[in-house]
Chain A
Amino acid sequence: MSFVDLQDARLVYGGGGGTLAIENASLSIARGEFVAIVGPSGCGKSTILKMVSGLLPPTSGLVAVEGQRVLQPRKDCGIAFQNPTLLPWRTTLSNILLSVEIAEEHAKKYRRDKQPYLDAARDLLATVGLLGFEDRFPWQLSGGMQQRASLCRALIHQPQLLLLDEPFAALDAFTREELWQVLQSLYDKHRFTVILVTHDLREAVFLADKIYIMSKRPGRIVNETKVDMKRPRTLEDCFAPHFVDMVHDLRARIGRELEAA
């Protein structure tokens, strides 16, 4: 039984005569699976994330998580965007703890005893390489460091489901590759289910178990590719023929998709 299910999900923005953003999208993701969604820009990749998290209910069709229909925000998703959106008046640590101040399941426990959460936050910070920066303010951190903190905020409440919307798109190539490895080690440690939206094919192949390709708007899922590479993957793997072939193949498929329309 799959953890996340979309069946013929369709989404129209702006009511009756609005724009058709997603058409008959179907996908299924197993618990603990790392899935990437790639596709041309404006194809509605982010809309899929919004439907899965319940921020945006589908116009028709089914969106289900854990076998339950998603009709409202799910309360246990972790989300990170391209923009780290840390609050400038909070320190790194307190930005991360924002999630447990809000999430119903943790808010009371956090108020009663902060220590376990402080420990968990420090543990996450250590994994992403930000230990020692707890008391810095976001504007004292580099873009890559802010994105690391944003990942920690998305994970501190131990979500089942991590939704990433082009989280590394604004970073330089070296920082981006470093953060792939950070994300991979977080994933290895906690085994949450991940949906990563990206337009970077190397990123998708490096991180995901399964890659969905979306068509141009209105977005449909047009292809599903398994990535059969063992973990942990290293940057060295990015230059292996198998890896390069896979990226090449994905690129060709997306190219055909762009021409077809």
Chain B
Amino acid sequence: MSGAPQTSDPNIGAPAAPASVARNFERVLPWAAVVGMFVVWEIVCIVFDMPPFVLPRPTVIATTLVKLWTPIMRHTMYTLWTTLIGFGLAIVFGVALGIVVGAWRVVYNGLYPVLIGFNSIPKVALVPVLVMWVGFGPIPAVLTAFSISFFPIVVNVATGIATMEPEMRDVLRALGAKKHQILLKVGLPRSLPYFFASLKVSVTLAFVGSVIAETVTGNRGVGYLMVDASSRFDGPVVFAGLLVLSFMGVGLYLVFAEIERRTTGWAHRGQDSA
């Protein structure tokens, strides 16, 4: 339900008005914050007379974005693809490993320390290793995106399965349920909210991974574009890259948040029913 038509009901129109004003205000607030941030930024740049290589004005960044739209988009699409391929691999292998780790206690106990150890390696430190193994090009970026977004998916899927209520398991086992049936009927569905929550986190992490790799090894992608521009003290282009990255990050986050909302609404009950 969107807020607007509520006032058309004559019975609740009058008393509901202040509430709906408050709700509209709440809805506008995030946008106002974004616009406000850019306005303050612009004013600060003008008042303190910032040189563009330190902090360019938003209007200058916007002009740069329009002027260099085609090359920037080329780099953006490149980064987007490497990110999504790495992220896709992370989903496939993360879900598979998550199921195994969550369903078998032995695997959980045996593999957990290794996983923690692997995850605590700063992923930027992997890039030189990857370059050594596979050379330059898109593959280091894909693999870095994969390695950084893989772990949250594994942990969340495994948690969702492993935290099944013992009573639920008993009810099914008393009916003669096999392990795979319990997994299919209860374990997997109940891990879905955990899975989608991890996707929202992971997709932004995947961006971090691919951009890090691009800044170190790349000759294409937004990360490369920004490093290249900063070596020429081209502030507006660096910030244009930042802006594009944050738009992509927010966009992908929203896509997965929406998928989550549609598929696992039962796990978030009561939040939008008020």
Q: Once the chains bind, are A77 and B168 in contact (CB under 8 Å)?
A: no
Q: Say if the beta carbon of B23 comes within 8 Å of chain A.
A: no
Contacts of A139 in B (CB 8 A): 266, 269-270
The 9 listed contacts between A and B (C-beta, < 8 Å) are A73-B173, A73-B175, A74-B174, A75-B176, A77-B174, A81-B167, A87-B185, A98-B185, A104-B176
Q: Say if the beta carbon of A163 comes within 8 Å of chain B.
A: yes
- Which secondary structure characterizes the binding site on chain B? helix
Question: CB within 8 Å of A: which residues of B?
Answer: 165, 167-168, 170-177, 181, 185-186, 189-190, 264, 266-267, 269-270
State the Cβ distance, A182 to closest chain B Cβ, in Å. Answer: 19
Contacts of A73 in B (CB 8 A): 173-176
Interface centre among B170, B173, B267 (most CB of A within 10 A): B170
Q: Once the chains bind, are A102 and B177 in contact (CB under 8 Å)?
A: yes
State the Cβ distance, B265 to closest chain A Cβ, in Å. Answer: 9
Given A74-B174, A85-B168, 18 more pairs with CB closer than 8 A: A53-B170, A55-B173, A55-B174, A73-B174, A73-B176, A76-B176, A79-B170, A79-B171, A83-B165, A85-B165, A87-B189, A89-B190, A89-B264, A102-B172, A104-B176, A137-B266, A137-B269, A154-B171
Q: If the complex has contacts A89-B266, A98-B185, A102-B181, are A157 and B175 also in contact, measured as CB distance less than 8 A? A: yes
Question: CB within 8 Å of B: which residues of A?
Answer: 50, 53-55, 73-81, 83, 85, 87-89, 98-99, 101-104, 137, 139, 153-154, 157, 163
Contacts of B267 in A (CB 8 A): 88-89
Contacts of A163 in B (CB 8 A): 174
| Distance, CA A253 to CA B6, complexed state (A) | 64
Q: Once the chains bind, are B167 and A83 in contact (CB under 8 Å)?
A: yes
Q: If the complex has contacts A83-B165, A83-B167, A85-B167, are A53 and B266 also in contact, measured as CB distance less than 8 A? A: no
| Distance, CA A80 to CA B167, complexed state (A) | 9
